[in-house]
A = this chain, B = another copy of it.
Amino acid sequence: MPLEKSATITSTHFTCSCTTAGSRAASFKRGLSTVITIKAVRRAWHKRIVDHDGDGTKPGGIEKWLRLVEATGLSRDLALRSAGILPATRYAVQAYVEFVSTGSHLEAVASSLTELFSKRLITLRMDRLRQHYPWLSGGLDYFTGRLTQATEDCEFALSWVVKHAPTRREQDLAHAALRAKCDILWAQLDALYFAYVNPGWPPPGAFQPARES
């Protein structure tokens, strides 16, 4: 199931599909009457599912991510099985799914606002990836797609949060959700840095560049 896959394949870029999965789970929990009132949110959020699953004619974000995996020289099967994933990455992604599943819709949507800063970051990232890892350049479609998608998504999310957080209490909840999401992304980057840069100690069972690349 693609949404589960996106949570295990994982990366800081799977923000929107995790949020979508969580919102859906939360919807079921809240029962039918609430589902009807949140129909408009679901409709708006639907685009994100299609962005990641694809529409059947062109590849979605998950497929593009797998192509990026292949461009690095790893197999898509490895990614689909989450083989070699850093446990810390898995726990952080689980924490995100848990956060958006059990939180309010306001918190779930607000947690996606890290994408407000995506455009500049993705542009910089693509430049540097092409510069330092030229062999990856054929696998960067995921990021190209996100340049447009993330901008549209976060514009919707920001206006939705502003509209649905009129009180200080709700604004604090939205702020805390964005903060929590930043912690989740930060923890993933720290784990990656620890394992592969400094001190460069991948935990047992995690991908070992020296042996596998």
Contacts and interface: CB of A to CB of B under 8 A. Distances in A.
Interface stretch (A35-43, A137-145, A201-209): A201-209
A194 interface: yes
A205 B178 CA distance: 13
A56 to B, nearest CB: 33
Interface in A161-207: 179, 182-184, 186-187, 190-191, 193-195, 198-199, 201, 203-205
B187 A203 contact: yes
A95 to B, nearest CB: 4
Interface stretch (A2-10, A83-91, A108-116): A83-91
A92 to B, nearest CB: 5
B88 A190 contact: yes
Interface of A: 87-88, 90-92, 94-95, 98, 179, 182-184, 186-187, 190-191, 193-195, 198-199, 201, 203-205
A-B pairs, 10 with minimum CB distance: A91-B91, A87-B183, A91-B95, A194-B194, A88-B187, A87-B187, A186-B203, A198-B199, A91-B92, A88-B88
14 contacts: A87-B92, A87-B95, A87-B186, A91-B187, A94-B94, A94-B95, A94-B98, A182-B204, A183-B203, A190-B201, A190-B203, A193-B194, A198-B198, A199-B199
